[in-house]
Structure 1
């Protein structure tokens, strides 16, 4: 139907024409504006992300993306991604029955890969905030 023949009760709001992406963007903006919802969402995203990271290393990217989506801006999302990496490293060291933090670093190159991936992969996932 063209604009000239539109009924008087019909509205041509931008959200109606843009589709589901505009609706998602509006819902995420509303979610991020409410501090209480955002903090609860951040905590849930952290727990779910660490749980997924426990199952597979790609879960680190998912954890960073989930936490990054709850943040208000891209720099905060990047900081949250680094924070997830630190939480994952701390969880790994605390739950490892045989390795202390010093022993982990004494492993050499495998430790560098573990620390690097635990910090870099959630950071990569948190870049999702720049898109959404």
Structure 2
């Protein structure tokens, strides 16, 4: 009997990829906190996850070089964030406190998915070998 990793792991592999991309976007925001005219960006996690789940049944590998790659579809989910603070005069919309909070929350959620996947893998390993080691 074949093991379906898509069924075993659920949405968590997709969530990890999206969280990874979001951490890159948030780090870019922090790096550009003092850049005049820079607009803060973020990823709509729910929208990106819905898109990834709708494609879950499709093959993840590219069979032709002109096919879209999953990383290119994630760029569509990167949106400019509406600023919470008034313009400081240089056109930069990065709120460093908000970015740090978003990084921390994203990190915790990434770790949660990793923990789930690790537990699931240990369960599969135990089922296959009969031991948890």
The reply to whether TM is greater than 0.5 is: no
Give the alignment's TM-score, normalised by structure 2: 0.32
Give the alignment's TM-score, normalised by structure 1: 0.32
Which one has a bigger Cα radius of gyration?
A: 1
Higher strand share: 2
Asked which structure has the greater RCO (Cα within 8 Å, sep 6+), the reply is 2
Higher helix share: 1
